[in-house]
Structure 1
């Protein structure tokens, strides 16, 4: 059951933020840290290869493949702790996610640049459900077209952020570097491949 919702309207989209969605975020963080097979692939950005500035894992239903930045990821089986969260999201939101991209930011140096989750296999207007556990970090958004007023949210450990359709068509999001953060953060971004 969802409670304590903050709706954030955006021009061409919107966000629903639930600061305390996960009852025991420290336990989930530790399970993800210990049980997930983390990788650090190279990606192509503006024609150049770079090591991903975070660790990641792609999990989901059998046989799924997801490609971005020149890297194709084949789904690993759902870890039980992630499957439980996925099933609860279906009950609470009605969105039936068939995969999740997991990102492990080891400290404040690990980051994610501005981008949209708008790959063709996500369909024209995807919903992305983002669960954060571990260190609080700033989540920034900016529109694709002027005026480029940014939105910044401090995502709490245990929070859920729903990026509602059609936000990905009109907005980009990022997790910038933050000095002074020595703790890790794990983010689960649930999505539906079609």
Structure 2
């Protein structure tokens, strides 16, 4: 059984290379706890909360329409839609703040992104279930950069075949998590519900969407 609790190194920042992958095999995940630590980082959450056009999507479970346990929004260059979990997302143009965060993530990853999926976790009852980011619009081994602002939440991985292989970490305000290599092929990830008295959190996952084909 492989089970790891990852403790963040508070000295890491945008100029520090990740020392090793947090996954034991079949993928690469790197965590930068102090990725976005410019002046006013504690105001970033509030600006995102009020400037982003949030929406309440629905999904079908056992034939019934239910609300996603979080709010979402989709921003991208261009005008192509993006579909995940049965939801068709029509892109909005990047705000100045989103573009600034995107450029910082691109610098850290040495990778260009053209889109961002945002999730607003209003309290500990909001969550994201087990899934992989393996939509057809993403490349075979996508690089996904996930920036967090606001309250700290637990983020978990579990291997698709080796069920006892699990990794858990805390994503704090201003942190950046990078998933790359074969991660989406072999691992599921989630943000579980919590009964802790936690505040709201906004997560931005930057992606490079391929728009070729239908």
Q: TM-score range by the shorter chain?
A: over 0.9
Match for residue 196 of structure 2 among 180, 183, 191? 180
Residues 56-135 of structure 1 correspond to what in structure 2 (within 5 A)?
56-135=72-151
Match for residue 178 of structure 2 among 158, 162, 168? 162
Larger Rg: 2
4+ residue runs over 6 A deviation: none
Structural RMSD (CA): 1.5
In structure 1, what is the Cα distance between the partners aligned to 2:26 and 2:119? 26
Q: Any stretches of 5+ residues in structure 2 without a counterpart?
A: 1-13
In structure 2, what is the Cα distance between the partners aligned to 1:47 and 1:129? 33
Pair 149,46 (structure 1): closer, same or farther in 2 beyond 3 Å: farther
Would the aligned equivalents of 2:132 and 2:188 in 1 still touch at CA under 8 Å?
yes
Would the aligned equivalents of 2:70 and 2:120 in 1 still touch at CA under 8 Å?
yes
Q: How many residues align?
A: 194
Match of 2:16 in 1: 3
Alpha-carbon deviation of 1:107?
0.6
Alpha-carbon deviation of 1:46?
6.3
Could you state the TM-score of these two structures normalised by the residue count of structure 1? 0.94
SS in 2 for 1:9: coil
Would the aligned equivalents of 2:23 and 2:167 in 1 still touch at CA under 8 Å?
no
In structure 1, what is the Cα distance between the partners aligned to 2:100 and 2:62? 37
Alpha-carbon deviation of 1:80?
1.0
Q: Any stretches of 5+ residues in structure 1 without a counterpart?
A: none
